[in-house]
Amino acid sequence: MEQSMIRLQAQLMKDYYKDFSRYAKGKKPECKIAWVTAFTPVEILEALGMDYYYPESYAAVIAASGKEQELMQECERQHLTADCCSYSCCFEGCVSLEKGPRGIPPKPDVLIATNNQCNTLPNWWNILAQRYHVPLIILDYPGEYVSGDYAYDYVRKQHEDLIFKLEILSGNKLDMSVLDKMIRNSKNSVQAWERIVDEFAVRAIRPTELFDGISFLITARCKEETAQLYVLMQEEFQKYSMADLTLTPVFWLGYPLWYHKDRYLSEIFDGFRMVGSNYITWWNLDYSGDTPLERLFQAYNYTFLNLKQNSRTKKLMECIKRSKAAGTVTLRNKSCKCDFVSARNIGLPQAELEIDMIDRMYLDTGKARRQMELLKEAICIVSELI
């Protein structure tokens, strides 16, 4: 079982990184390359035989390798201040110096950005477009702010235009049956991952295993191997012992800390256990619908971060309630203010930590420890009142 998991992980990573400079050794990619943001409908690219890469995800890999500070400083020397999104600063430094733990990704033939995550990304992709002099396609997803029928027509036309442009670029014609298969693969990956998330609340699973494990749902969700990997992971997790119920259950609200060996502040979690995280549910996309284009609309127009505040709060509360958390650790992320906004009005004691997912210099561990002590006191007071 373990060997099968390792084999699938190795295969997915090899496929993803094969054209990075560290491995390609100057060899040109065999197909057209797109750089995409995290919630791009990559099923279309996969069906057209294109490869695609996520600069945000690579920034996380850079931070995990301990290499982010030099690259962020280089970025600030050139054009972006440290107050900008750390993902962008880290990656911009990487491509400027042509340095990274796996080299640099192959140069893009097209850039695709979406606004269903945050509005910073289209601006960052404009900088990349100026650097590489390649076409930039921005997909505008109105979310819940436009009624369903109008929103569907608006998004469908953009998806059809995206298909048309990528057919010309790739030289391939989209087969709708292939696109439908890619969407089914993504749906299978999401469903398998959701079962893993359910195990997290009740078993002694290290949060690191999920913070790292979700990377395949991001970068390879429409690969058949991803669902296979997650099925094996769930089977493995079911062998773990049940969670220690003497520890105080808390919910992690915000990004993992990519520079930390455990991806969260494990050193200040004495007496606590993490039972859930909103980050590990963000890619649980809903591919419902009767046609491929309807399913893509449903999945990418209604991402969690593209919902109205009331809907985000409702979904968040449902996740927290299922986890049976008694409190939350909420990150005031220097890079991602919109993520903190999604944590309002959750009705539980919170430890609010000023932090960043990439920039370790922004972390004050002493202050964070004091916040956790206050959280424990607040949870005790609430439990006594009940």
pLDDT digits over 146-172, tens only?
Answer: 888 899 999 999 999 999 999 999 999
Neighbours of 259 (CB within 10 A): 23
d(CA 312, CA 332): 17
CATH topology identical between 31-174 and 244-385: yes
Instruction: Produce one character per residue of 279-298: b if its CB has 16 or more CB atoms within 10 Å, e if not.
Output: bbbbbbbebeeeebbebbbb
What predicted TM-score, i.e. pTM, was given to this entire model?
0.94
The CATH code belonging to domain 244-385 is 3.40.50.11900
Q: What is the pLDDT of residue 78?
A: 82
Q: Give residue 81's pLDDT.
A: 78
Topology of domain 31-174, CATH: Rossmann fold (3.40.50)
Would you state the structure tokens that stand for residue 91, as one six-digit string?
A: 């990656």
pLDDT value for 2? 61
Q: Are 141 and 116 in contact (CB under 8 A)?
A: yes
Burial class of 91 by CB neighbour count within 10 A (0 to 12, 13 to 18, 19+): buried
Listed as ranges, residues in the chain with pLDDT below 70 are: 1-3, 337-341, 383-386
Nearest to 272 by CA among 237, 238, 242, 244: 244
- In this structure, are residues 298 and 288 in contact, taking their beta carbons and an 8 Å threshold? yes
CA nearest to 326, candidates 247, 249, 254: 249
Ranges of each domain in the chain? 1-18+182-242, 31-174, 244-385
Residue reference for tokens 């309807």: 294
Q: What is the model's pLDDT at position 386?
A: 56
CB 323 within 8 A of CB 249: yes
